[in-house]
Structure 1
């Protein structure tokens, strides 16, 4: 047997061999890391110490046709938190820091932590969480008082991980005190889905920290306005602190959007709309025995020969500044609140209302091209019986046997009832025939009603032509609901009218009866239009038959003044009416201003020099007060005004429409002075403002076109 010494030496040799093997392996591994792969690892180590930070570009300006800024940029103090540095602090110190900075920016520590959370992480809240680079400081408050920012800058030892700096945010110069919120729109942070789509398509113009257009021209022309972000590569130490800049790729400012809006005209329009609504609310409605509610209103001013929108106002409205720096839940709830009038809804393009008697010129066109003539005479009686119901004139007035021109002047309902009823008898008395011919419906569609105008604003409403197809589709959609009401005994919450209506609708709600036809002929019933649709249609009468696509944008101009794109007027179609019919309607609408329902609002106005054609309307809506309308035009402009639950057409809206024309043409009493017109040359020229390299903007040259 081997001795103990021999066994000990054997063990020592084995251990020595193992140790040698380990050292040999370690040496080979070190040689591989430092010599063979050293260059690769040094490159990776260097890249880990460099971080890329996004530098947001300055967003492009939005200016009016004269070059006046409507939306600009201003400097704002922004407080941000570096999450890397914050995470290296003890928990108690983190809490104390968040409480300290939160007191200055009116945020609780819990709110700040929600803002610092990375979107997509467990517990993150969409719209609140951080969607940007993980290496970038997270903005927690914008537009903070300067004293708060200076305290952070002057006392860095008390504010570790907190950064105060100035950044650009949207500003609203409000020339002539204008609001224009529904046209301009607003911005809000990019969503996860939008950012993911941008990454998938290789779009580098947005990043996780971008703000994008959400409404108005800010959304429509966001691609031009947003610019291209820059990038800074900075070196950081192991604690994440910036040691210095490695390189920088400069960003590109956004382009300028030149609009067709004229701020001076817009100011007049907004003032007149607000004044009209205030006056209506102080005026007693003789029908209901209470003051008019006047819950909403809109005005559109458009060039008749191009479709360019010169002014567009809507009430209720909101302050676009409310979106700058982030909007609170309470503010957002107010903007969507029905009690507040749903301020986010732009009534000019999204509001839908019964057109009332402003509809009659289009019915005249349909009648004169389908069997009736300018020599036709019909009875303007005080009432017109359809079945067991008598449809009456306004205040039961009667004018005897008259033609279409006089019927438009005095806005005779029973005249047009007879026209609508005659077509229904000839072509559509079979209520089951959804394809029955209807010349009045077809004419309304020719004028663009029931479809979007194509204006360059998002969210436009299409209106509705309540023809046979629509009525049958609506009946199928609502049949079960109304049949359910009719099947139960009437309760205290259901009025007699609703209960009776439910029973009738359940059985025969699909039927397009004579009552539907006569209501359609005067713009009542279920047909609804937007103020913009009505303005475009009146523009087609004014210019001889062309339906223009309404347009806000006039051009895109680069920061150095180069014109990148011009938006020329675009025809969407033609109403295809004989010149004789258009001329006849034009003269009839001239008569409305000279002798008809609008005349009393145009007394002592120089109609020979400024020839206004007009049509008033008072649309009745079940359960509400009348909607006031005035639709009008000259050789140059179309002006349409609407006040929901505001009373009669000329009674409520007439004075404001007159004031707008006075501003457009420089009217003072019976004198017309083009030098005093709101727009130099009365109509803006096709030329654009001049953009100088020093940042100044000069108005366009040349007279109106």
Structure 2
């Protein structure tokens, strides 16, 4: 029985062994089959995936396109500069001690604090990263930490690689501003800054491959408006890296495509004259005593526009205060940025020419004349021009209380008679809208202002344009609804030392009936005072419509897009907004009256000796009163070819503050020297802007346009 038991146990042991052997062989067979599948059947696929994990893509930034003027002169180009970059992946493999020492050594070489270098190496999105300083590009390519590095420092890094592991010094292109004729043109040209994470995400969603995390994009001016053409197409370099992320070899290259060239309608020589005259007039007024306040004029800002009358193309446009556009190249400091937005510095980033909004004063009167002559008045209408007109319980005066007797519209424009136009405004209010609560009452003067494009953007190809404001009945009702709580609270509170008597009284009246469009509102509107505001560009466009026979154009700075090899990709044609439908007889009448302003009216004293018989300048001066400030001075002028507008905030009378500058610009445009006119001396060859584009040579040269032979 014992033997039988032993045999049973032995049998069970053999069974267990067989089961274990079978299990082991099954596992080995499964493993072998899996290995065969991975290495033989799917080997190529996994080999490709493994290879792709060792390949990294480095972005090669394209050279940004040029910006040139109408004659082919460069306004914005690119220059080579030494840029020092650091390899983040290699730094990440260093010990803390070695990393600190490398950053200290690199900082000494490029005159930069190690802490600033560290801040630039942080990836945007990492803890402690600062927008505008952190790196928004690929983590696998060297991160630029300094540009415009001295050549000696760059060569030291290149010649001593053992002392600067992971530090790269190379030549790269950055924006340059050649400034032909000493121009600035910052508000027209604009500036660049690094792309934001939000913009990059939006580009990826839209499939836009022209930007990447290391791109810089246009932020203002034509740099922003034509950014998609100027930016070019990035290239990509694929490199093989080891397990530590270090580059071992180049795999493939896709070359970057340079950006296209933007040809503008700006003429650099005219731009230089306009900028110089605007700055000169401002400086002159700051040294001139204001007879009203008894102190010098503040002349805190100004703008000037030169427009081609028949097309709306911008020939020159200047704003003061301005800034150096190169301040953005390589990154702007907090101190520099604060100044650009500072009110104490005059907010230099604000382009007064198309973003600044000012009361137009008497430059408004030609549009009011058109409105009157197309709504019941005639050139034969005679009205008095007394020193003052009583409106309710308040007298409304002429400038300096002058009186000119009974006159017509032409003479009223020549001497800029306020009281003449007060009567026109009063007439329309009394006959068509005497109910101050009727927001839909007809007002021919308001309708004509809107017909000329005031109260709406001009559509210029520059971002951030202001729309101005036509202060009609609807606007006044809307403004009351938005501000009544503020003024009612102010009126209900006891008057404090910070609130003037005027403001306190105004708050009380506004709270009670601030929505009503009263007779004083209509009177102020008729002479460009009150709450109506315009941009200098809007005013120039309105005068261009008078000059060209009644066509309102959308102003344009861009003229053409040209590829890097000189092929014209797109011509940017002038865009007609609309025909104003004004009778030719009315426009001719206003045109003749504005000639009288230059020969015997308020602008005549600034044009003495000017060959007005050869260069027929039409003009209108304006002095807009602003509560708590000195007057804003305007001159709007034109010929058959151009419109020239200049204004100075807190500069005094129109002709007094800008008249000499306006004259100097006209002299440059037509080649005037004293009483002589020589077209050969004109700033633009042939006097008027060329219709054709600059000539782009195969060698990359840009030559002036070919002029048509007469």
Q: Same fold (TM over 0.5)?
A: yes
Q: Distance in 2 between matches of 1:116 and 1:10?
A: 67
Match of 2:618 among 588, 597, 613: 613
Q: Distance in 2 between matches of 1:102 and 1:356?
A: 57
Q: Distance in 2 between matches of 1:573 and 1:41?
A: 65
8 Å contact kept, 1:684–1:704: no
* Match of residue 226 from structure 1: 231
Map 1:151-230; keep pairs closer than 5 Å.
151-230=156-235
Deviation at 1:117, TM superposition (A): 2.3
1:567 matched to 2:572? The reply is: yes
1:500 matched to 2:505? The reply is: yes
Map 1:46-445; keep pairs closer than 5 Å.
46-445=51-450
Match of 2:584 among 569, 573, 579: 579
Residue deviations 1:339-378 (CA, integer Å, cap 9, x gap): 1111110000000000000000000011111111111111
Q: Distance in 1 between matches of 2:467 and 2:167?
A: 50
Deviation at 1:140, TM superposition (A): 1.5
Relative distance call for 1:106 and 1:499 in structure 2 (3 A) is: farther
Relative distance call for 1:104 and 1:281 in structure 2 (3 A) is: farther
1:690 matched to 2:695? The reply is: yes
1:667 matched to 2:678? The reply is: no
SS of residue matched to 1:157 = coil
1:480 matched to 2:485? The reply is: yes
Q: Distance in 2 between matches of 1:126 and 1:2?
A: 83
* Match of residue 622 from structure 1: 627
Q: Distance in 2 between matches of 1:339 and 1:12?
A: 95
* Match of residue 458 from structure 2: 453
Q: Distance in 1 between matches of 2:206 and 2:497?
A: 59
Q: Distance in 2 between matches of 1:544 and 1:27?
A: 91
Q: How many residues align?
A: 705
SS of residue matched to 2:162 = helix
SS of residue matched to 2:663 = helix
Q: Distance in 1 between matches of 2:551 and 2:390?
A: 38
* Match of residue 496 from structure 2: 491
Deviation at 1:643, TM superposition (A): 0.4
Q: Distance in 2 between matches of 1:314 and 1:500?
A: 36
Relative distance call for 1:199 and 1:396 in structure 2 (3 A) is: same
8 Å contact kept, 1:680–1:704: no
8 Å contact kept, 1:685–1:704: no
Deviation at 1:12, TM superposition (A): 8.7
Q: Distance in 2 between matches of 1:21 and 1:333?
A: 75
Relative distance call for 1:113 and 1:10 in structure 2 (3 A) is: farther
8 Å contact kept, 1:63–1:257: yes
Residue deviations 1:539-567 (CA, integer Å, cap 9, x gap): 01111111111110111111111111111
* Match of residue 47 from structure 2: 42
Residue deviations 1:482-529 (CA, integer Å, cap 9, x gap): 000111111111111111111001001111111111100000000000
Q: Distance in 2 between matches of 1:362 and 1:476?
A: 29
Q: Distance in 2 between matches of 1:362 and 1:72?
A: 42
8 Å contact kept, 1:65–1:689: yes
Q: Distance in 2 between matches of 1:477 and 1:556?
A: 44
Q: Distance in 1 between matches of 2:709 and 2:271?
A: 18
Q: Distance in 1 between matches of 2:168 and 2:6?
A: 77
8 Å contact kept, 1:682–1:704: no
SS of residue matched to 1:284 = coil
Q: Distance in 2 between matches of 1:146 and 1:647?
A: 52
* Greater mean deviation of Cα atoms: 638-647 or 39-48: 39-48
Residue deviations 1:232-263 (CA, integer Å, cap 9, x gap): 11222233332222221112111111100000
Map 1:586-605; keep pairs closer than 5 Å.
586-605=591-610
Q: Which runs of 5+ in 1 are unaligned?
A: none
Q: Distance in 2 between matches of 1:246 and 1:106?
A: 35
Deviation at 1:22, TM superposition (A): 6.2
Q: Distance in 2 between matches of 1:461 and 1:169?
A: 31
Residue deviations 1:78-99 (CA, integer Å, cap 9, x gap): 1111111110111121122222
* Match of residue 648 from structure 1: 653
Q: Distance in 2 between matches of 1:2 and 1:541?
A: 125
* Match of residue 642 from structure 2: 637
Map 1:481-560; keep pairs closer than 5 Å.
481-560=486-565
Deviation at 1:148, TM superposition (A): 2.1
8 Å contact kept, 1:303–1:636: yes
Relative distance call for 1:387 and 1:281 in structure 2 (3 A) is: same
TM-score (norm 1): 0.97
Q: Distance in 2 between matches of 1:199 and 1:372?
A: 61
Residue deviations 1:129-166 (CA, integer Å, cap 9, x gap): 22212222111222222222222111211211111111
Deviation at 1:431, TM superposition (A): 0.7
Deviation at 1:106, TM superposition (A): 4.6
Q: Distance in 1 between matches of 2:709 and 2:443?
A: 42
Deviation at 1:48, TM superposition (A): 1.9
SS of residue matched to 1:158 = coil
Relative distance call for 1:704 and 1:132 in structure 2 (3 A) is: farther
SS of residue matched to 1:572 = strand
Q: Distance in 2 between matches of 1:696 and 1:307?
A: 29
Residue deviations 1:14-47 (CA, integer Å, cap 9, x gap): 8877776665555444434333332222112222
TM-score (norm 2): 0.96
SS of residue matched to 1:76 = strand
Residue deviations 1:90-138 (CA, integer Å, cap 9, x gap): 1121122222223444543333333222223344333322221222211
Relative distance call for 1:18 and 1:106 in structure 2 (3 A) is: farther
